[in-house]
A and B are shown apart, each in its own frame.
Chain A
Amino acid sequence: MSLMKHLLGASAALALSAVAALAEPAIIYDLGGKNDKSFNEAAFNGAEKWAKETGGTYKELEMQNEAQREQALRQLAEAGANPIVMTGFAFGDVLNTVAPDYPDTKFAIIDMVVDQPNVKSVVFTEEQGSYLAGVMAGMASKTNTVGFIGGMDIPLIRRFGCGYAQGVKSVKPDAKVILNMTGTDPSAWNNPVKGAEIAKSQQSQGADVIYAAAGGTGVGVLQAAADMNILSIGVDSNQNYMHPGQVLTSMVKRVDNAVYEAFKEGADLKPGVNVMDLKAGGVDVAMDDNNAKLVTADMSAAVTAAADKIKSGDLKVHDYMSDNTCPAGTF
């Protein structure tokens, strides 16, 4: 009898662990790959943080081609992965058609709103973080001219540029803000050579602080700025360490936190739109030892003041994507 009990107990435990194993979370990285030093890598770090804290395991997948998007989503859903997190707006269209087929699976998508009952859409208020970066750039500039280099020309990236321009103008109303984009197709995310060329052209127009919101292209911008002895601003991950003392700050976007939270919520993931703003710690400007010498007391006071005003709602940073216009600059 007791043997029977043991056996039953063991099989029950086995069944339970099988269920637990089935409910593994999964993450899909976009074509940039998980080691892009920027957006996808931040997502990877979030997943790793969750794995370390909970001792759990997760499935991960890097995209190779477009046809795989739908296949990967379906296969992971059918294998019982829950929740399934994906990085990047390019999944939006496919997720919109796949999600209704798997009502019991929860999905989370970063940087895009997908209106389905089992999808959590995580979006960031990049205009707020970029505004703070703009405040710092405006105060650090001696030539009264600053630059912005975006990756692919999409509304999301214009949102970065527009917030930045507003931040600059808030401290130097007569400053010149040069807004450029690297290209119009996805290769613009990974073209450091062109990024460096644009940085040089902006420098020749007088810019002495350049903000890069361009994924892998930004690596070239930061390098060129360091070579020309002018300041740069990094994006997504904290990139201050790349050229210590020459990167003014980085506009960090906590994609890692978004992935970590989604994994932690597990199968109880709350669907709906989740806005990660300055108040929620979703975006910020990075302050560490690498840029401590560049940040004056006035500058950090101004950033804190602006951040407080944004958090309390006294200061509203115009969001480019709300009406596709930018009052502070032209692209």
Chain B
Amino acid sequence: MTKLPRWADVVLVPLICLVIAFVFCGILIAAIGQSPLQAIWIMLEGSFGSTNGLGYTLFYATNFIFTGLAVSIAFQASLFNIGGEGQATLGGLGVTLACLMVPWPHWSLALLGSIVAGAAFGAAWGFLPAWLQAKRGSHIVITTMMFNFIAYALMNYVLVNMLRPLGSMDPASARFDKVVNLPKLGDILGLVGIPFSNKNPANISFLIAVALAVGVWALMWHTRLGYALRAFGKQEKAALYAGIDPVRITIYALLLSGGISGLMAVNAVQGGAHRLVLNSVEGAGFIGIAVALMGRNHPFGIVVASILFGFLYEGGSQLAMGTTIPREVITVLQALVILFTGALPYMVQKPLEKLFAKRGGK
């Protein structure tokens, strides 16, 4: 069996998946009596046409970069962490406690504090499933999944009974002090003379996420730990023979993965909402799986895939506001793209391999 050239694997396969997904979306939109071209235009115009729309796209993308990187690290160690949702939820709790309990003098200190707290809470939520997997052999897919539900329940209890301000009916924490608000992307770009709207929640976390992507790349391909993680993922027995401790590496992988998931809350909670709401993650933990798959577990691919999914989210909002397409159909459209790009690349890969083999054989 011939393998695909790398450029085809990285660029062509996702692109073809995307085109197929859009064709199906177009059929669906036409079937409910709307114009597919107009719908696509509204999505593109809304999410890239103005700096405000772009800000929302990047805001959502930032969430997905964090959760996508988190999934990819565990995935390369052959551990399928589908608990990103719960780890990010707990990260939100950490960030909120850091923002509410400490009288920060400046946002930069608050940012450091919330990064530490968010990562610590997220990592802690990843630790138990990792320990159970490493020591007891409880399958990580099951345990991380279950821990999502525990996280929901815990968050519910904490918000309703502890963090909810007196007299408020919303199951949400109090608003954070204005001091801890993160600088908006618009303000940062304004400093270097690039006009960018700051009426959207895009904030400094986007830059942190991109820097983290570079960091993860360096970690995975240029450090001993990264090598150990990848070796463990490729062939566990060989790794063991090479002196890599499976217990330790499993726990490290999940601590890293959970911690990065938890960092998502810096963007969503501290940067965006300025308070903790019950469902602060809103599925980003699961989207991270699709993002990691589509990005081929490579940080660069993950950043690109995250922007695509950010576009899908923001484009979906624009569709809801600009057309009469019901929100249920918009959810189906988003699901179709996730299905084709995240879950079905192998459907495209095999025929493409054959095609390349034919051409190569000539």
Contact = CB atoms under 8 A, between A and B. Distances in A.
B170 A71 contact: no
B280 interface: yes
B167 interface: yes
Interface in B276-329: 277-280, 282, 316-317, 320-321, 326-327
A9 interface: no
Contacts of A93: 170, 172, 175, 275
A74 B52 CA distance: 11
A156 B169 contact: yes
A7 interface: no
A184 B171 contact: yes
B205 to A, nearest CB: 13
A112 B320 CA distance: 25
Contact of A92 (B170, B280, B317): B170
A155 B199 contact: no
Interface string A83-95: 0000001101100
Nearest to B277: A66
A107 B282 CA distance: 27
Contacts of B200: 71
Contacts of A89: 169-170
A155 B167 contact: yes
Interface in A64-111: 64-68, 70-72, 74-76, 89-90, 92-93
B169 A67 contact: no
Contact of B317 (A68, A90, A324): A68
Interface residues of B, number: 32
Nearest to A35: B326
A185 interface: yes
B171 A185 contact: yes
A112 B170 CA distance: 11
B330 A64 contact: yes
Nearest to A66: B277
Given A66-B282, A155-B167, A72 B321 contact: yes
A74 B169 contact: no
B56 interface: yes
Nearest to A101: B199
Contacts of A67: 56, 59-60, 201, 268, 272-273, 282
B316 A66 contact: no
B156 interface: yes
B175 to A, nearest CB: 7
A62 interface: yes
A154 interface: yes
B320 A64 contact: yes
Nearest to A70: B201
A109 B244 CA distance: 60
Interface in A35-87: 59, 61-62, 64-68, 70-72, 74-76
B171 A186 contact: yes
Interface in A246-300: none
A308 B308 CA distance: 61
Contact of A61 (B268, B279, B280, B320): B320
A244 interface: no
Contacts of A329: none
Contacts of B160: 153, 184-185
Contacts of A71: 56, 200, 317
A63 to B, nearest CB: 8
Interface in B158-183: 160, 167, 169-172, 175
A249 to B, nearest CB: 26
Contacts of A154: 169
Contacts of A92: 170
A64 B169 contact: no
Nearest to A92: B170
Given A64-B316, A64-B320, A64-B327, A90 B282 contact: no
B321 A61 contact: yes
A75 to B, nearest CB: 6
Contacts of B317: 64, 68, 71-72
17 contacts: A59-B321, A61-B320, A62-B326, A62-B327, A67-B60, A71-B200, A72-B321, A76-B321, A90-B170, A92-B170, A93-B172, A154-B169, A155-B167, A156-B169, A184-B157, A185-B278, A324-B167
A64 B332 CA distance: 13
Nearest to A156: B169
B35 interface: no
Interface in A165-189: 184-186
B38 interface: no
Question: 9 tightest CB-CB pairs across the interface, nearest first?
Answer: A154-B169, A184-B160, A185-B156, A62-B327, A65-B282, A89-B169, A66-B277, A64-B327, A68-B317
A33 interface: yes
Interface string A101-129: 00000000000100000000000000000
A184 B172 CA distance: 12
A70 to B, nearest CB: 8
Interface string A154-167: 11100000000000
Contacts of B223: none
B199 A74 contact: yes
B331 interface: yes
A90 B327 CA distance: 19
Contacts of B279: 65-66
B352 to A, nearest CB: 35
Contacts of A76: 321
A73 to B, nearest CB: 11
